Amino acid sequence: MLKVSASLLFVLLLATSCSTPRTFQEVRFNEQERANLIVRYYTDDTSYVLKPAKREGPFLAVLGREAVLDVAKQQPGRELAVVVLIHYEAETEAGEVKQKWENLLKAVGYQRVVFLRALSGMQVDGLPVLANGG
């Protein structure tokens, strides 16, 4: 009897989980080639510019916010800037970082700023989109 009850409960849970519509669909970024600027941001003192790649020898250079903005200002095209963000514990902190970068990049002429969630590695295409500003 216990096995039958457990089996029925499993079938019921399976049926309800399969019938529940998914309202959230994670959007993945696929415009790496079109981006004029790609920044992997950690803190105001620690960022990497992935496109155009800023290097110190064979390694990506660690840049502060002002140095990143200097690179951003040098780009001839300013249609799309991408900022890859690490995971923040508080959504308010992530929101503040996104707002600050969007304001800074739009002030130097970027038309669109997209924010992505960082995963391991430096690959950009395929990362989850956090915000897609216009």
Whether the pLDDT of residue 121 is over 90: the answer is no
In this predicted structure, what is the pLDDT of residue 4?
44
Return d(Cα 58, Cα 81) in angstroms, integer.
24
Mean pLDDT of 33-55: 96
Residue 6 lies in a domain: no
Beta-strand relationship, 80-85 and 55-56: unpaired
Is the whole-model pTM more than 0.85? no
Domain total of the chain: 1
Residue 68 lies in a domain: yes
Give the distance, in angstroms, between the CA of residue 106 and the centroid of all CA atoms in the same chain: 17
Return d(Cα 42, Cα 73) in angstroms, integer.
20
Residue 81 lies in a domain: yes
Residue 42 lies in a domain: yes
In this predicted structure, what is the pLDDT of residue 25?
66
Of 40, 30, 125, 28, which is closest to residue 84 (Cα–Cα)? 40
Enclosing domain of residue 75: 27-132
Residue 9 lies in a domain: no
Cite the DSSP H helix spans in the chain: 2-19, 65-74, 91-107
Mean pLDDT, the chain, whole residue set: 85
Residue 3 lies in a domain: no
Residue 37 lies in a domain: yes
